[in-house]
Structures are given as structure tokens and as C-alpha cells.
Amino acid sequence: MSALRKLVVDGPFHMRRGVLDSPTIAFETLGALSPQADNAVLVFTGLSPSAHIASSPDDPSAGWWEDMVGPDKPIDTTRFFVVCVNSLGSCFGSTGPASINPATNTHYRLDFPVLCLEDIAAAGAQVLDHLRIDRAHTVVGASMGGMTALAFTLLHPGRSRRLVSISAAARSLPFAIALRSLQREIIRRDPEWHQGRYDFEKGPITGMRLARKLGMITYRSAAEWAERFGRERATAEPPHEHPFGIDFEVESYLEAHANRFIGAFDANCYLYLSRAMDLFDAADHGGTLERALSQVELEQALVIGVESDFLFPAHQQADLATALAPHVKDVDFKRLSSIQGHDSFLVDMDRFRPAIAGFF
């Protein structure tokens, strides 16, 4: 069973650096839209999740934010109409590099235009149009989704009353750019990538596995792993005498995560979405961040950062909250002491649930 709904755009969809002909934008909804259409919570996702944010009668499988969204949960679907969009450029229903280009009847692959987070935000706005929602109650996003949510408020002022930005940033800094650039290069250097023209049944599996391992290293924190793994050995055996077997438990953990990722995500889509994060800079929408943010028409904003996040460090999120403050009446910045790093919003529910529930 699937709760996935699809909107096919009628005609051209103008991206910042290209045009798509009638793309599909996939989304899921939970709860019911109020008669006044004033209870919509629009959610943009991180790089890898689908639109399946939580279980529903139409799709009872657990979603990627199952603990946060549902009846009587912090984002309470008995009160709110939750709309979660599969990012344009992704591969879970929305048009992306793995989709068929109607102009050529072959897959887009690298013919897909350069993707920007602004394009993903614009696709989200089209979903609101389609659902006849003039103004969302709140636009929410974590990680890449938080940057996209910010892009949404910049491109579509007034289309959301509120913003919740979690473990995101107003721009990518060089350390995060370096890490993502390296992940992309690892994929591109896999001989099986074939300049993007790989067989979809095979593709750059090794590159994707290695990029995922690097991702996992940047999504968690040294402190969490020291506590969780220490120097625990992967087996009761002494280290393999082959010089490059797996010695330590942390290596087994990465191996398991990498293996789970394979087949779940298209390599070209990954490359496009990853680069879109690097390219994003809210300041592009006004010359400076301050001028850009003067355009958002928000009543309230909640910015959440995590101390142990080194991919989207808390100081960048404090900066975002500070820059929003002159333009938004009610801005709250929460700096959480979770030890799980960037991924804390997915796992540290003891800290994240009250922070989100308090807002809603």
C-alpha cells in the first residue's frame, strides 16, 4: 500500500538554471485539511528520505519521522494536515535524473538541469497550490530540508506563517562542502558510474557504499561513538591477520549502514541533491543574509541546533536565528545537547519531541 500522491505540473516548470517539461511532484499527506485551509504543515526532507514521513491508514509502514508525526504526536495529525514532499531531483516519485525526459524518451541522467534547493522549494509551493492552500501554518525541514524550508520562505513570502528549521543553515560552509564534494567524487570515480550512464540494475555500488560510509561519519559524533563502540572488536577473534579485514565494531556498523543504502537511492539523484546543498546561500536572495531575510513574511520561527553537529554546526544556526530576529516577531533558538550529531533529530526523541511539541 502506498500513500503517495502525485501532482503532474501542467507545462514547463522553470528552475533556476533550466526548465523541466511537466515534471511530477510526489507527496504524502496525513490528517485532514481544515475548512479554513489554515492547518497545513509543509515538510521538506533531508537528502535521502522519501515523502513517507509517517505511517497512515493508506500506508501503515513506519515513516522516516515516525516518532514525530501522527495522532497525538508532536506534529499532531489530529490537528494538522501534514504535507511531506519528495524533493524534486530525488527518486521516490518526483521527477529527477533517474526519470524519463519526455523530450527524448530516455532517462535524464546528466541532462537534468543543475538542481537548486530553490527548485525543490518551488515544487513544494506547487503542491500547496494543487491542494488549494494559500498559506501553510508552518513550513518545517531538517538538514537539507531546513535549508529548503528557508528557501521557501524567501521565494514565497507569506505562503507560510511559521518556519521550523532543524540542524540546517543559511548557507553551506567550506568544511561541509568539502565533505560532500568528496562524497560526490567518490561516486563519480567509481568506474561503474560511466559518466552517469550506468545500468540502473548495477551502477556505482562501490562508490555509493563508500560515500554512504563517509555520510554516516559526518551524521553522528565522535562522543556518541566513543560511548557506543569504544575499542570494541568486531569479533571475539584477534584481529584478522589479513591486514585489511574489519577489526573494530565501528567498522561493522558502517558496513551495515552502507549495505542498507545500496539499491535504495539512485546515484545521479544523490549527486544532484548533494551539490544543491553546496550551492545554496540564502544571501543570494538579497545581496546579504540580512537583506534576504528582510523579505520573509513570518510570524514565528523556531531554529534548532545540536551541539555535537559538526556538519551543520550550532553556531551557524544561532547565526540564522539572529539574522531572522529583526524581521520575525517571535524567534526562538534552541541549542540541544544531544550527542548524536547531525542525525539527532532522527534519534534523540527525548530532546527533540518536547522541542517540536512545544512549538506546535
Q: Residue 120 in contact with residue 88, Cβ under 8 Å?
A: yes
Query: In whole angstroms, what is the distance from residue 307 CA to residue 140 CA?
Result: 20
How many residues of this chain bind a second copy (CB under 8 A)?
A: 55
Min dist. Cβ of residue 17 to a second copy (A): 7
Min dist. Cβ of residue 20 to a second copy (A): 15
CA angle 146, 28, 33 (to 5 degrees): 95
Query: In whole angstroms, what is the distance from residue 220 CA to residue 3 CA?
Result: 30
Min dist. Cβ of residue 245 to a second copy (A): 10
Query: In whole angstroms, what is the distance from residue 277 CA to residue 78 CA?
Result: 33
Q: Does 347 bind a second copy (CB under 8 A)?
A: no
Select from 140, 304, 306 the least CA-distant residue to 220: 306
Candidate list 278, 309, 319, 343, residue with the active-site label: 309
Strands 75-76 and 69-70: parallel
| Annotation says 143 is catalytic | yes
Q: Going by C-beta distance under 8 Å and a sequence separation of 6 or more, which residues neighbour residue 238?
A: none
CA angle 276, 279, 282 (to 5 degrees): 110
Q: Does 206 bind a second copy (CB under 8 A)?
A: yes
Min dist. Cβ of residue 282 to a second copy (A): 11
| Annotation says 343 is catalytic | no
Q: Does 185 bind a second copy (CB under 8 A)?
A: yes
Candidate list 338, 342, 343, 348, residue with the active-site label: 342
Residue 307 grid coordinates: 551541539
Q: Does 248 bind a second copy (CB under 8 A)?
A: yes
Q: Which residue number, 28 or 190, has a Cβ lying nearer to a second copy?
A: 190
Q: Which residue number, 77 or 172, has a Cβ lying nearer to a second copy?
A: 172
Q: Does 290 bind a second copy (CB under 8 A)?
A: no
- Which residue in the set 135, 188, 327, 335 belongs to the binding site for a second copy (CB under 8 A)? 188
* Residue matched to cell numbers 551543520: 312
Q: Does 272 bind a second copy (CB under 8 A)?
A: yes
Select from 87, 89, 92 the least CA-distant residue to 115: 89
Pick out residues in 91-120 that bind a second copy (CB under 8 A): 110, 112, 114-115
| Annotation says 107 is catalytic | no
- What amino acid occupies position 266? D
Positions in the binding site for a second copy (CB under 8 A): 17, 110, 112, 114-115, 171-179, 181-182, 184-186, 188-189, 191, 206, 210, 213-214, 217, 221-222, 225-226, 228-231, 239, 241-244, 246-251, 254, 271-272, 275, 278-279, 281, 310, 313
